[in-house]
DNA sequence: AATTAGATAGAACGATCAATCTATGTTGTC
DNA sequence: GACAACATAGATTGATCGTTCTATCTAATT
């Protein structure tokens, strides 16, 4: 892919993450990326398409990073713990400014499918991934139920980490997750 | 308070909830409220002040509604259950479009204190309220820890309810909350 | 050397936005 | 009936926005 296009996605991701989609104008992206106006419109038909590309890229990057942090040989519980630990590291990173997908959902709602689809897909992928891990030692129904809860915990933790500037919410979230998993495990055994 | 001012807050709350703060312009509020431009600027120095007033009002309304739905004579667990039940009813309401405070945080971040302060205050009030309820039958540390978890669950449920158009997440969230409360209770007894 | 594709800077357009100004109209009170 | 307080409609300003247009420049390919 063109290095200019690459640069645009990278800079736009940064600015959108820090300030939101609406408040960041095209000009600001152009200046910070060192790219001409028409170069942007040659690669992306409109700002919305740039936003879509940013979210798409972000989705690929996050899933790759998450999957890389989870040892495939580890136990199911260790795999789930790794997912929560990944979030804690993320919350503590200096550039952390909340989840870009939440922001997209909050700013555009579900009215712009081109944008909200990716945000919802991310949530679904996470839910299914954790459900599959849980299914290795829990019945299908319990696995699906708890996976839904784990997603809620992670979503809530992401919000609270930003609102309170407190990365340790991830630890508390994992402690709760552990209790719920244990309880479901002993109850079915 | 002036009926016009009242009307402006009501209409602005509606529009902001449905479409967000940035996309809704002054003109749209004026037309829908049937109010003249200068009337708005006589009551609110700027759009930001209108947003602040909307959030302030929303905070008062939500807390009043929540407190009214919780029987003071009920048991601690029943009180917490009432809070989750309130959320489920909210998620199922036809006008539900996510939490206005989350939206404010997502659109403005923590850079605009006049706006983000109220959103954070709401979260803190909820945390302290549930912590106090939990303290009636749990040690202080456990109560604070679980209160933080319950807030995460509610925040996550609010997000997922909107993203998936699924009000039943509240029930799952409460089931998880119940397990966590029971476990903390038996562990300390 | 000629051609072509892509990038550049910068002006310009039309639309929208928050906010201000002006001048008229309505309402209730003394 | 006069006064004061508030509300009205609408033009207007200045800024910002996404997008388009034009014309020049660079670099690789033939």
Strand C reaches within 7 A of the A189 CB: no
Covered bases, chain D (protein CB within 7 Å): 6-11, 16-23
Nearest Cα residue to A55 out of A4, A93, A108, A127: A108
What is the model's pTM? 0.93
Nearest Cα residue to B81 out of B181, B174, B176: B174
Tens of pLDDT, residue by residue over B38-83, are: 999 999 999 999 999 999 999 999 999 999 999 999 999 999 999 9
Q: Do residues A96 and A162 touch, judged by C-beta distance below 8 A?
A: yes
Strand C reaches within 7 A of the A161 CB: no
pLDDT at position A71, please? 95
Strand D reaches within 7 A of the A25 CB: yes
Strand D reaches within 7 A of the B35 CB: yes
Give the three-class secondary structure for A77: helix
pLDDT at position A108, please? 87
pLDDT at position B111, please? 79
Q: How far is B120 from chain A (nearest CA, A)?
A: 6
Domain that residue B129 falls in? 3-187
Q: How far is the CA of B38 from the C1' of C24 (A)?
A: 14
pLDDT at position A115, please? 86
Q: Do residues A96 and A90 touch, judged by C-beta distance below 8 A?
A: yes
* Element containing residue A35 per DSSP (H, E): none
Distance CA(B130)–CA(B122), nearest Å, equals 12
Distance CA(B170)–CA(B158), nearest Å, equals 8
Judge: B106–A20 Cβ closer than 8 Å, yes or no: yes
Q: How far is B148 from chain A (nearest CA, A)?
A: 8
pLDDT at position B19, please? 92
pLDDT at position B77, please? 96
Q: What is the DSSP string of A111-149?
A: T-HHHHHHHHHHHHHHHHHHHHHHHTTS-HHHHHHHHHH
Q: How far is B110 from chain A (nearest CA, A)?
A: 8
Judge: B106–A107 Cβ closer than 8 Å, yes or no: yes
Give the three-class secondary structure for A96: coil
Give the count of domains, chain A.
Answer: 1
Calculate the average pLDDT of chain B.
Answer: 95
Q: Which residues on A lie below 8 Å from B102 (Cβ)?
A: 102, 106, 159
Q: How distant, in Å, are the alpha carbons of A68, B2, B100, B155 from that of B159?
A: 27, 35, 11, 6
Q: How far is B15 from chain A (nearest CA, A)?
A: 13
Confidence of residue B1 (pLDDT cuts 50, 70, 90): confident
* Closest Cα in chain A to B174: A149
Nearest CB to A155 within list B20, B110, B155:
B155
Test mutation, B149, B154, B185, chain A, max A CBs within 10 A: B149
Q: How far is the CA of A4 from the C1' of C1 (A)?
A: 30
- B61-75, B107-121, B169-183, range with the lowest pLDDT: B107-121
**pLDDT beyond 80 at B188:** no
Q: Which residues on B lie below 8 Å from A169 (Cβ)?
A: 148, 152
Strand C reaches within 7 A of the B24 CB: yes
Q: Which nucleotide has the least CA–C1' distance to B40?
A: D7
Distance CA(B89)–CA(B76), nearest Å, equals 20
Confidence of residue B114 (pLDDT cuts 50, 70, 90): confident
* Closest Cα in chain A to B151: A156
* Region A163-167 average pLDDT: 94
Confidence of residue B137 (pLDDT cuts 50, 70, 90): very high
* Region B110-130 average pLDDT: 92
Test mutation, B97, B111, B148, chain A, max A CBs within 10 A: B148
Nearest Cα residue to A114 out of A21, A181, A52: A52
Report percent pLDDT > 70 for chain A. Answer: 99
- Which distant-in-sequence residues (6+ apart) come within 8 Å of B76 by Cβ? B133, B134, B136, B137
Strand D reaches within 7 A of the B29 CB: no
Strand C reaches within 7 A of the A25 CB: no
Token pair, residue B95, equals 């006008």
Q: Which domain CATH number covers A58?
A: 1.10.357.10
List the end-to-end C-alpha distance of chain B, in Å, as a whole number: 52
């Amino acid at each position: 892919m063109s290095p200019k296009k690459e640069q645009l996605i990278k800079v736009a991701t940064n600015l959108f993450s820090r300030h939101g989609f609406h408040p960041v104008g095209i000009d600001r992206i152009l200046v910070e990326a060192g790219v001409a106006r028409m170069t942007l419109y040659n690669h992306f038909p409109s700002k919305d398409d740039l936003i879509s590309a940013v979210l798409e890229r972000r989705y690929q990057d996050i899933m790759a990073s998450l999957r890389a942090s989870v040892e495939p040989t580890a136990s199911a519980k260790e795999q789930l713990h790794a997912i929560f630990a990944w979030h804690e590291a993320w919350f503590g990173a200096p550039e952390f400014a909340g989840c870009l997908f939440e922001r997209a959902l909050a700013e555009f709602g579900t009215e712009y499918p081109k944008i909200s689809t990716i945000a919802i897909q991310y949530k679904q992928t996470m839910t299914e991934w954790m459900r599959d891990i849980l299914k290795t030692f829990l019945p299908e129904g319990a696995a699906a139920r708890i996976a839904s809860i784990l997603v809620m915990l992670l979503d809530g933790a992401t919000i609270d980490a930003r609102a309170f500037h407190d990365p340790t919410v991830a630890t508390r979230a994992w402690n709760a997750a552990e209790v719920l998993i244990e309880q479901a495990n002993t109850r079915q055994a």
